[in-house]
Each structure stands twice: as structure tokens, then as C-alpha cells.
Structure 1
Amino acid sequence: MNKPLKRRLRLTFQTNIELHGEMESYEFSTEGELYHKRNQDYLRFVETFGVDSKVQTTMKWDGEELTLIRQGDVLMRQIFRSGEETLGRYVTPEASWETRADTELVIVQWPSLQKPRGKIYIRYQFFLQGQSTGTHEIRLKLEEAEE
């Protein structure tokens, strides 16, 4: 991909959070678009929370770090790098918090002509204002969408 060619993808987004032995999970399916710009890949899609809450989500991949950007009813920016600690920010209409991710592993495999399925996997410890929110796993299953 040498130019900003957009490709439609179907994706399944799954999050698992473990805190003090309790597991919380949620999953949704949607469509998004993948494009390449200035040596980086971008995956964009909309997350829906509840009845009325929508968030535009962008995942930016440069080959070493994945940046998660959420814009809408929630604003969030967090960088993930395997084996590293990174700072970010989480903002709601009520408050703004500093975040920290101690990332264990990031895997990004885009779908291609040879392999029509791809994935994104992130495992990290997440902290909001210094307080642990548990061990988080994000899994995205990606597949080329039919035209």
C-alpha cells in the first residue's frame, strides 16, 4: 500500500478485563476502513456504547507502536509498545484522567491478498490516575469486506 488506498474491513472487537479475579468482557462487530498514509497504517471504525453513545475509534500502527485514539462522547489517546510503559489521557464530559499502560504484547497482522484475515492483539496492565483497572486484552479479528 503506497498511497492512501482505503480498504473496507469487517471486524470483531473483543475486550477482556481481569481485576481481582473477576472477568469483564464485551464484544461487538462492525465495519471499518484500513488505509496507509505517511508510512503508517490506520484502522478506523465506530464503537457504540449503550443506546446513544458513539465513539470514532482510530488505531494507528507504525510497525512498532499502536496508538489508540477515541473521539466522541469519550476522548482517549493511548500508545501501546510491547514491553514498555506509556502514558495517555482519558476524558469524559465530567473529568479528565491520566492513563498508563504497561504493555506486555502488541501484535498487528493486516489482511492481504494472500491472507484475507488479520488480527490485532494487545495485552496490558492499565492504570487510571495511578489506580489499576486490571489486565486488559483487546482482540480484533479483521477480514476484507465484500464490495
Structure 2
Amino acid sequence: MMQPVKIRILSTLKDADGSLQNTEQRYQGTMREKDGKYYVMYHEDAQSGLEGTKTTLKWDGEHVLILRSGTVDHRQEFRRGYIDKSIYVTPYLKLALTTETSYVYTYFRDGVWHLEVEYTLHHGGSPYGDMKILIEIEEDIQVGH
């Protein structure tokens, strides 16, 4: 059964110059659990620059997968020590990305899922920056009650 959820995504990019860029995004979505894996689906908005894209988060105890389809097509997998090679496809260009995950931690506390991921992103063979992402997923009790 799909359950309505509120999603909050905090991300920090430390670029090659060492400067920090923080963003926060909030979405409404749905969540379900199947065979010990969790799935959250939501639609990106204009603020993210990915309007027209559906994002699916899938996770278990040791890995997080982000799937995007629509305006942007991309599959990115995070697992500690794992190097993920992917192609980020937009209507205008294709970017070859390499994601080197240093940290993944998923836990459920006080009714909220926390997905923490830290990784280094490379494109075109050179480092783009170090990313830290915190995704909080909370049941949306106002919807449907």
C-alpha cells in the first residue's frame, strides 16, 4: 500500500575551490515497503530544475538508489566504497558521471527515515565536488485523514 510522505532533502556541495553550496528542497510523495526494501516516489519541481521528472528512491540497510525518469533520465547507486558510473541524460546533453561513495547510513527514528550519503562526484574524468545529502522521509498524516 502506498503511504503519503513528506520529503526533505538537504544537500551540500563542496566544489574544487573549497566553496560550499547548500540547498534544501521539499516534496510530497508516496512510500511503500516490499521485501525489506523501501521505495519513495515523487515529482521534481521547477525549483530543482528537473520539472517533469519522476524520482524514485530505493534503499535498504546498506545502499541507496536514485532513479530519475522524464525530463532527466539517470540512475545513481550509492554503497560505501562503491564506484558508480552513470550517464545523466537531459533533452540537451548527456554527461558521463562517476560517483565514489564514502558513506551511506540509513535509519528510522521517531517516525522519520533518514538517508545520509556522502560521495565525490566526477564528470569528464575530473572531480566536480564532494557532496553530502540528507534525505528525511516522514509520513504525511494530514493527507487522507
Q: Which interval holds the TM-score relative to the shorter structure?
A: 0.7 to 0.9
Alignment partner of 1:99 is 2:94: no
Distance 1:81 1:52, change over 3 A: closer
Q: How big is the alpha-carbon RMSD for the aligned residues of Structure 1 and Structure 2? A: 1.9
Q: Report the alpha carbon displacement of residue 110 of structure 1 after superposing the two structures with TM.
A: 4.0
Aligned residue for 1:15? 11
Identity %: 24
Q: Match for 1:129 among 79, 101, 124? A: 124
Q: Match for 2:29 among 24, 29, 32? A: 32
Conservation of the 8 A alpha-carbon contact between 2:60 and 2:106: no
Distance 1:54 1:26, change over 3 A: farther
Question: TM-score scaled by structure 2?
Answer: 0.85
1:80-91 residue pairs with structure 2 within 5 A? Answer: 80-91=78-89
SS in 2 for 1:71: strand
Q: Match for 1:47 among 37, 44, 50? A: 44
Conservation of the 8 A alpha-carbon contact between 2:2 and 2:31: yes
Aligned letter for 2:7?
A: L
Question: TM-score scaled by structure 1?
Answer: 0.84
Q: CA–CA distance in 1 between the matches of 2:124 and 2:42?
A: 27
Residue segments in structure 1 that go unaligned for 5+ positions in a row: none
Q: How many residues align?
A: 140
Q: Match for 1:138 among 133, 137, 144? A: 133
Moved beyond 4 Å, runs of 4+: none
